[in-house]
């Protein structure tokens, strides 16, 4: 297969996998609204069953970079499609809480494959780093956004079990197509190898520590906001909307995040990453703080700002790994990056349950705003650390053509 054809097909299936990864993880938080009355359990009890999903999502991302060296990235991405599909079918057949929790744990394990493996594959085949990362982010964000609306519509028309069956079959079909159309891992066309040139740093440990804290705090805002969003709109918007409209409105909020990721992709190709990082991070505490302090339309505006910043940050974080880490270490670096973000943020589910019981979603969003403030502080620290040693030099602010 010609390298450019391999690259186009690989990037297409990596994007599809990104959409499905976020979609399958956010089916349950919306389906819970329909499951609770039928199973006779409270929202808090049911949402707590998904704790294992998000812990496994982060925990099992760590070994994926090492497993890719042994089994190959193509094999692991195929396992992602098949494992997620089978897990969703298992959830559709479950009724007992322990069985639901078990299948959710398995879903978290297989969904952990995508980010370290898919990100490494994308960077290897990308022609323009920022643009391709931006579009990849759009696919993921649309998957997350559609999850609420599609799940709500299917659950309202066909029941909550069908809301798991339909995407499960889609995952299995996508996996079969991937195996048929992408015959090898490969590195793609020559221009894609290694992507953009690696930026050398004099104090890597300091920058790594700052970036690590930002990833952990950003993981908390990401998971708390995306998991709680349908219920936040249900309780605090003040419109008493039916389930289908609540899910559709949540999808609309996610769409703004997708648009921000396209913008971030363009900015990454044109400006120094520390500058983009610092500017974007300011929106997280502002948006989450506004949402915590308001209801109705101001709440919706705050959530849109927060979601745009949270999903835009994903593009920036992946670009930073791609630009600061040598090609031979990127798969492992992505594994560590997502392990830090997703494992720690696995605490988001019990945190939502605890804070919601204590002070409602005002407390949930208020604490999320504090985590957003920490991300902003880390971004400012990263910018100052690079500025102090002239890291934001013409060498880094390369043109889109050289990338």
SS3 185: coil
- The per-residue pLDDT for 394 is 38
Distance between start and end Cα atoms, the chain: 25
- C-alpha span between 355 and 348 (Å, rounded): 10
- The per-residue pLDDT for 273 is 85
pLDDT band at 36 (very low <50, low <70, confident <90, very high): confident
State the residue for tokens 């897990």: 87
Helix pair 114-125, 330-345: axis angle to 10 deg: 140
In 3D space, the residue among 108, 96, 83 whose CA is nearest the CA of residue 28 turns out to be 108
The predicted-structure confidence for 39-95, as pLDDT tens digits, reads as follows 888 877 888 888 888 788 888 888 888 888 788 889 999 999 999 999 999 999 998
Q: Which of 21-30, 52-61, 239-248 has the highest mean pLDDT?
A: 21-30
pLDDT band at 20 (very low <50, low <70, confident <90, very high): very high
| CA 371 centroid distance within chain | 17
- The per-residue pLDDT for 375 is 94
State the residue for tokens 């805002």: 221
- The per-residue pLDDT for 243 is 65
The predicted-structure confidence for 146-161, as pLDDT tens digits, reads as follows 887 899 899 989 999 9
State the residue for tokens 């700052």: 210
- The per-residue pLDDT for 373 is 94
In 3D space, the residue among 93, 142, 315, 300 whose CA is nearest the CA of residue 218 turns out to be 315
The predicted-structure confidence for 98-146, as pLDDT tens digits, reads as follows 999 999 999 999 999 999 999 888 988 888 888 888 889 888 877 877 8
SS3 128: coil
Higher pLDDT, residue 298 or 343: 298
pLDDT band at 236 (very low <50, low <70, confident <90, very high): confident
- The per-residue pLDDT for 187 is 55
What is the 3 state secondary structure string of 341-380?
Answer: HHHHHCCHHHHHHHHHHHHHHHHHHHHHHHHHHHHHHHHH
Q: What is the mean pLDDT of residues 328-353?
A: 79
- Residue 197 in this model has a pLDDT that exceeds 80: no
- Residue 400 in this model has a pLDDT that exceeds 50: no
Q: What is the mean pLDDT of the chain?
A: 83
């Amino acid at each position: 297969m010609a390298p450019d054809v391999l690259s186009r097909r690989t990037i297409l299936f990596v994007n599809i996998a990104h959409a499905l990864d976020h979609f399958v993880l956010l089916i349950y938080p919306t389906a819970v609204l329909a499951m609770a009355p039928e199973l006779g359990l409270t929202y808090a009890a049911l949402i707590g069953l998904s704790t294992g999903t998000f812990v496994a999502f982060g925990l099992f991302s760590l070994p994926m970079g090492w497993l890719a060296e042994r089994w190959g990235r193509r094999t692991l991405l195929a396992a992602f499609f098949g494992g997620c599909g089978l897990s969703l079918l298992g959830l559709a057949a479950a009724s007992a809480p322990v069985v639901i929790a078990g299948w959710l744990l398995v879903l978290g394990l297989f969904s952990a494959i995508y980010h370290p493996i898919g990100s490494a594959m994308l960077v290897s085949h990308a022609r323009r780093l920022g643009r391709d990362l931006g579009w990849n982010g759009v696919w993921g964000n649309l998957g997350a956004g559609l999850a609420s609306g599609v799940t709500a519509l299917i659950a309202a028309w066909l029941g909550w079990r069908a809301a798991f069956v339909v995407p499960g079959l889609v995952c299995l079909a996508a996996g079969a197509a991937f195996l048929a159309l992408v015959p090898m891992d490969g590195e793609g066309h020559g221009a894609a190898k290694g992507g953009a040139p690696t930026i050398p740093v004099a104090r890597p440990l300091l920058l790594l520590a700052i970036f690590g804290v930002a990833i952990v705090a950003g993981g908390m805002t990401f998971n708390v906001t995306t998991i709680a969003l349908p219920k936040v709109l249900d309780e605090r918007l003040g419109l008493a909307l039916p389930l289908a409209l609540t899910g559709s409105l949540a999808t609309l909020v996610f769409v703004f995040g997708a648009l921000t990721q396209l913008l971030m992709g363009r900015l990454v190709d044109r400006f120094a990453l520390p500058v983009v990082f610092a500017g974007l991070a300011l929106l997280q505490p502002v948006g989450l703080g506004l949402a915590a302090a308001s209801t109705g339309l101001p709440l919706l505006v705050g959530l849109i700002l927060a979601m745009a910043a949270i999903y835009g940050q994903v593009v920036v974080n992946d670009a930073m790994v791609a630009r600061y880490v040598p090609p031979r270490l990127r798969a492992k670096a992505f594994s560590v990056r997502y392990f830090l973000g997703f494992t720690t943020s696995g605490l988001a589910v019990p945190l939502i349950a605890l804070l919601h019981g204590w002070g409602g979603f005002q407390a949930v969003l208020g604490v999320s705003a504090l985590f957003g403030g920490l991300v902003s502080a880390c971004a400012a620290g990263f910018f100052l650390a690079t500025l102090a040693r002239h890291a934001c030099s013409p060498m880094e602010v390369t043109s889109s053509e050289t990338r």
